[in-house]
DNA sequence: ACCACTTAAGCAAACGTCTGCAGACTAGAG
DNA sequence: CTCTAGTCTGCAGACGTTTGCTTAAGTGGT
């Protein structure tokens, strides 16, 4: 019950192993008669070459590692799907590493990926920000990146220069805000995320900028901070609804938060979009699964993943590639918003 | 910029490669002084052994392949999460293979996994049924399973004997039906899936059985077939709502369908749960993300994945293990149902 | 001083594939 | 019939580990 090797094939075909290898890889001309004889034997034994041996020799595995914080967060399967589509065309396969937000596991995975000689690493930052990760891990990431092509997707590691592909979140915030203003809303609240995270900060700034450009004030209490979760959206919305004067529209830092806000509104018997409009961010599947369907800023998550792979691929091929790639967002209008005009 | 090998370490430490290997794996006693010297050099070069070479020799890779139809379907990340948790404890890593429902890719992946010498394969059937897959693929799966430990999660391949772990769907349907009846509902509709699929058939049978046991009729029009999608739930519910006499409760074959049904009800201005109760199946995250939160049968998807890994692990270790493992469901009562009493 | 025994370390083969080099054969031209 | 230019095939070494077998060195008992 031993494994069939290229030698066994060779012996039975009365040729050398080299020849078998050559028909396997089409790497040199071989006489038609011997080729077909070999092929036949290969079929007979259902022979498949051992990729480990090949990789050991060629120093490439056709494998890339994908590290992400939580596959259960609907954001990531979407990104992964984009990665998969792009990369399977190029013949790569993945190690999927889910860190569950645990830094220790992150470093373990990094180790493992290096041992397994992956051709490249894709690091999904996503909603959890790398910027405040502990310096030791950061060091490790940089170290690894210096040996193995690495790209950061939607993350950042300040003070280092790693290849990145990110979303233009500021632009997305602008689109959403301007859309609401154009629809006649004057009083708009923003349920944001963690105040210290760059992506949130960017969005807040963009939000304020657009408001001002349209001659509108942004009251202090109209920017609420949270933690990107549904629960945070729910409680923020409750606070908003408790006010004497409610805003007519609420813009949320991501869809999960928006769904939480929506839930709070429904619970309180406040109609969406009749009494309050809600806009989300990301366009996760959930956004169109609920009623009313969420107006949201599409992050083009699959594109994000696909682009990440392309960048990585070029790096593996040692082609020149830009350090920073930016994906532009798009506004998707559905039924959670209405025009006041 | 060549790779540092065990030989380089050995040379610098003035020992043989064998010794270095032994300190790396703790596989034989080595004098403390040399050990620490070697360790120091390893650190200095950040040396990591090449897993390919090791695997080639030892004939084990610590890697398992996971094949699933669609990572974007919220069912699968949950299962995967369970897989990951269980397997990373045992030191495995995964190739994640998303077939996108394409049979050709499935067979490609199977090939690839064999080439890469995975220690085992996890085949997620899930909502898409393997039973009606084309015989050629089936043949291939069986062929592969005869060489590499393979377990089918939530799938079946009739006429073959593969290790499986599945959910007791019939039991789940019973739980849900009985719950509704206990709550005083007499007229209950069931929005099912594909009539030809065994899982649906089982559920329908269980549903009918429980109804009868409680002295209730199941009108023919109260079992509607669909395709598990949200859209199918929506349209089925529309049909139901258009009737003169509406059932007071609707049980759905899965959560996606239930969400669709819920959406249809809301669109039509029919209150859930006041005018109609809805029960789902699976307990995907979406189920508790919407308002009202869905009463549903939990499939314990993480447990499903985790158990799959355990079974596979035992097979890899050549331990005896039951061919069939069944996971018992659990009813989760939330707010999409109400008691009529 | 010798022997038996334990502990440390080295040698070399093996895992399964690819490939540079060289040799053998074929065929066509002179 | 010889020479040349291909065309096809084999040899052997390399990739980076692990491990069974052997040898060398040290320990203590008689």
pLDDT in tens, B244-258: 999 999 999 999 999
Nearest to A310 by CA among A87, A79, A53: A87
Nearest to B279 by CA among B197, B125, B175: B175
Q: Is residue B253 part of a domain?
A: yes
Residues A281 and A227 in one domain: yes
Backbone angles phi, psi at B165, to 5 degrees: -130, 125
Same domain, A183 and A294: yes
Could you say which nucleotides of strand D lie within 7 A of any protein CB atom?
7-12, 14-20
B130 has pLDDT over 80: no
pLDDT the model gives residue A132: 57
Tens of pLDDT, residues B95-113: 999 988 788 888 899 999 9
Query: Residue A83 is part of a domain; what is its CATH number?
Result: 3.40.50.2300
Nearest Cα to Cα of residue A86 among A66, A71, A106, A102? A66
Going along B193-306, which residue ranges are E strands? 223-224, 249-252, 277-282, 295-298
Q: Does residue A336 sit within a domain?
A: no
- Convert the pLDDT of each residue in A196-227 to its tens digit: 878 889 999 999 999 999 999 999 999 999 98
Q: What band does A1 get if pLDDT is binned at 50, 70 and 90?
A: low
- Range name among A131-140, A238-247, A315-324 with the lowest pLDDT average: A131-140
Asked if A11 and A159 sit in the same domain, the reply is no
Quote the pLDDT of residue A190. 98
User: Residues B162, B311: one domain?
Assistant: yes
> Looking at the 3D structure of chain B, how many domains does it have?
3
Q: How far is residue B203's CA from residue B58's CA, in Å, rounded to a whole number?
A: 46
Rounded Cα distance between A41 and B97, Å, is: 29
Based on the fold, state whether residues A266 and A290 are members of the same structural domain: yes
User: B330 - beta bridge partners?
Assistant: B298
Residues A276 and A174 in one domain: yes
The answer on pLDDT for B224 being more than 90 is yes
Answer whether residue A189 is part of any domain. Answer: yes
What the block records as the tokens of A258 is 């928006």
Distance from the Cα of A95 to chain B's closest Cα (Å) equals: 5
Q: pLDDT exceeding 70 applies to what percent of chain A?
A: 97
Q: pLDDT class for B133, splitting at 50, 70, 90?
A: low
Instruction: Give the mutation candidate from A81, A116, A121, A126 for the B interface (greatest B CB count, under 10 A).
Output: A116
Cα–Cα nearest to A186, from A96, A277, A313: A277
User: pLDDT of B185-203, one tens digit each?
Assistant: 999 999 999 888 778 899 9
Contact (CB, 8 A) for A154 and A125: yes
A58 touches strand D (CB under 7 A): no
For the record, the structure tokens of B292 come out as: 């009202």
- Whether residue A295 sits in one domain with residue A312: no
* Distance set, CA B32 to CA B23, B29, B37, B43, B47 (Å): 10, 9, 9, 16, 20
Which residues have a Cβ under 8 Å from the Cβ of A80 and sit 6 or more positions away? A66, A68, A71, A96, A305, B71, B96, B98
**Whole-number Cα distances in Å, A302 to A69, A283, A308:** 17, 11, 10
Helix (H) or strand (E) segment spanning residue A264: helix A255-267
- The reply to whether residue A72 touches residue B78, judged by beta carbons under 8 angstroms, is yes
Q: How far apart are CA B176 and CA B331, in angstroms?
A: 7
Q: What does the pLDDT look like over B58-91, one tens digit per residue? A: 999 999 999 998 898 888 999 999 999 999 999 9
Q: Residue A14: which residues within 8 A CB-CB, separation 6 or more? A: none
Which phi and psi (to 5°) does residue B90 adopt? -90, 0
More confident residue, B134 or B111: B111
Confidence band of A128 (pLDDT split at 50, 70, 90) = very low
Nearest to B263 among A61, A80, A291 (CB): A291
Kindly state whether A18 is in contact with chain B, defined as any CB-CB distance less than 8 angstroms: no
Residues B5, B50 contacting (CB under 8 angstroms): yes
B41, pLDDT greater than 60 = yes
Q: pLDDT, tens digit, for every residue of A4-13?
A: 999 999 999 9
Q: Which of A52, A88, A96 sits opposite B94 (nearest CB)?
A: A96
Domain identity same for B106 and B193: no
Task: Report residue B128's pLDDT band, with 50, 70 and 90 as the boundaries.
Answer: very low
Q: Whole-structure pTM over 0.85, yes or no?
A: yes
Cβ contact (<8 Å) for A48 and B289?
Answer: no
The pLDDT score that the predictor gives to residue B127 is 46
**Looking at the domain assignment, is residue B180 inside a domain?**
yes
Residue B283 belongs to domain spanning: 169-299
Which A residues 42-61 touch B at CB under 8 Å?
46, 48-53, 55-56, 59, 61
Residue A175 has pLDDT above 70, yes or no: yes
Task: Give the one of A59, A77, A266 whose C-beta lies nearest to B72's C-beta.
Answer: A77
Encoded tokens for A217:
């004030």
Q: Give me the residues paired with residue B237 across strands.
A: none
Share of chain B above pLDDT 70, in %: 97
Average pLDDT score over residue span A86-113: 91
In the numeric block, the tokens 């939330």 are attached to: B334
- List CB contacts (< 8 A) between A78 and chain B: 72
For residue range B4-29, list pLDDT tens digits in order. 999 999 999 999 999 999 999 999 88
**Residue B67 CB coordination number (10 Å):** 22
Q: Which residue has the higher pLDDT, B256 or B126?
A: B256
Q: Report yes or no: B274 and B338 within 8 Å, Cβ to Cβ.
A: yes
Contact A328, A172 (CB under 8 A): no
- CA dist B176 and B279 (Å) reads 7
Q: Is residue B1, in this structure, part of any structural domain at all?
A: no
Poorest-confidence range of A9-18, A125-134, B272-281? A125-134
In a domain, A70, yes or no: yes
* Residue B61, C-beta contacts closer than 8 angstroms, at least 6 positions apart: A52, B51, B55, B116, B117, B118, B119
Q: Is the pLDDT of residue B1 over 70?
A: no
Token match 């494998």: residue?
A63
CA–CA separation, B315 vs B312, rounded Å? 5
Query: Hey, which bits of chain A come out as E strands?
Result: 63-68, 93-98, 120-124, 150-153, 163-167, 188-191, 223-224, 249-252, 277-282, 295-298, 324-327, 330-332
Query: pLDDT tens digits for B136-187?
Result: 778 888 999 999 999 999 887 777 889 999 999 999 999 999 999 999 999 9
Position B161 scores a pLDDT of 84
Q: Tell me: the pLDDT tens digits for A282-314?
A: 999 889 989 999 999 998 899 999 999 999 999
Tell whether A341 is covered by a domain: no
pLDDT at A127 over 70: no
If residue B120 lies in a helix (H) or strand (E), which one and from where to where? Answer: strand B120-124
In terms of domains, do B227 and B290 share one? yes
Same-domain status, B176 and B164: no
Q: What is the CATH number of the domain that holds B22?
A: 1.10.260.40
**Could you tell me the CA-to-CA distances from A228 to A203, A241, A276, B74 in Å, in that order?**
13, 19, 20, 19
User: Do residues B106 and B254 share a domain?
Assistant: no
What residues in A contact B237, CB-CB < 8 Å? none
Contacts of B307 (CB under 8 A, 6+ apart): B82, B86, B165, B325, B327
- The rounded distance, in Å, linking the Cα atoms of A331 and A266 is 24
A340 within some domain: no
User: Chain A to chain B, count of Cβ pairs less than 8 Å apart?
Assistant: 121
- A191 and A294 fall within a common domain: yes
Helix axes A75-89, B75-89, angle to 10 degrees: 80
Chain B: nearest CA to A99, how far in angstroms?
10
**Nearest Cα residue to A134 out of A92, A101, A93:** A101
Spatial neighbors of B25 by CB under 8 A, at least 6 apart, are none
**Cα-trace Rg, chain A:** 26
User: Which of B172, B229, B181 lies closest to B202 in space, CA to CA?
Assistant: B172
Question: How distant is the Cα of B215 from the closest Cα of chain A, in angstroms?
Answer: 36
Calculate the angstrom distance between C1' of C14 and CA of A13. Answer: 24
Bases along strand C below 7 A from a protein CB = 7-12, 14-20
**Residues A153, A86: contact at Cβ < 8 Å?**
no
pLDDT tens digits, A34-45: 999 999 999 999
CB contacts, 8 Å: B76 with chain A: 77
A25 touches strand C (CB under 7 A): yes
Asked if B150 contacts B309 with a C-beta cutoff of 8 angstroms, the reply is no
**Look-up: residue for tokens 């050991």?**
A56
Structure tokens belonging to residue A86: 């792009």
Higher pLDDT, B76 or B128: B76
Say which range, A20-24, A164-168, B50-54, B132-136, has the weakest mean pLDDT.
B132-136
**What is the reported pLDDT for B190?**
98
- CB nearest to A286's CB, from B85, B115, B286: B286
């Amino acid at each position: 019950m031993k494994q069939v090797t290229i030698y066994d094939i060779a012996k039975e075909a009365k040729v050398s192993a080299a020849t078998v290898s050559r028909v396997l890889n089409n790497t040199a001309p071989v006489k038609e008669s011997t080729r077909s004889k070999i092929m036949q034997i290969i079929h007979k034994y259902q022979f498949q070459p051992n990729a480990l041996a090949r990789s050991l020799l060629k120093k490439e595995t056709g494998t890339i590692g994908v590290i992400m914080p939580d596959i259960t967060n609907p954001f990531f399967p979407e990104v992964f799907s984009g990665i998969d589509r792009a990369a399977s065309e190029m013949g790569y396969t993945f190690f999927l590493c889910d860190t569950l937000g645990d830094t220790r596991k992150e470093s373990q995975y990094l180790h493992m990926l290096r041992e397994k000689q992956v051709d490249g690493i894709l690091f999904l930052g996503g909603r959890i920000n790398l910027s405040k990760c502990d310096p030791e891990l950061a060091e490790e990431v940089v170290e690894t990146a210096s040996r193995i092509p690495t790209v950061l997707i939607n993350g950042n590691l300040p003070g280092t220069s790693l290849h990145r592909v990110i979303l233009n979140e500021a632009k997305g915030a602008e689109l959403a805000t301007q859309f609401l203003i154009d629809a006649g809303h004057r009083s708009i609240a923003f349920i944001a995320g963690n105040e210290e995270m760059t992506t949130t900060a960017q969005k807040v700034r963009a939000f304020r900028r657009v408001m001002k450009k349209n001659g509108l004030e942004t009251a202090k209490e109209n920017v609420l901070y949270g933690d990107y979760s549904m629960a945070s959206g729910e409680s923020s919305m409750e606070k908003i609804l408790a006010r004497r004067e409610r805003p007519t529209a609420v813009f949320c830092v991501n869809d999960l938060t928006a769904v939480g806000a929506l839930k709070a509104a429904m619970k309180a018997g406040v109609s969406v979009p009749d009494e309050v409009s809600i806009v989300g961010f990301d366009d996760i599947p959930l956004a169109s699964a609920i009623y009313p369907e969420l107006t949201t800023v599409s992050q083009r998550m699959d594109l994000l993943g696909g682009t990440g792979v392309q960048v990585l691929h070029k790096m593996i091929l040692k082609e020149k590639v830009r350090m920073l790639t930016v994906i532009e967002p798009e506004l998707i209008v559905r039924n959670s918003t209405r025009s006041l005009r």
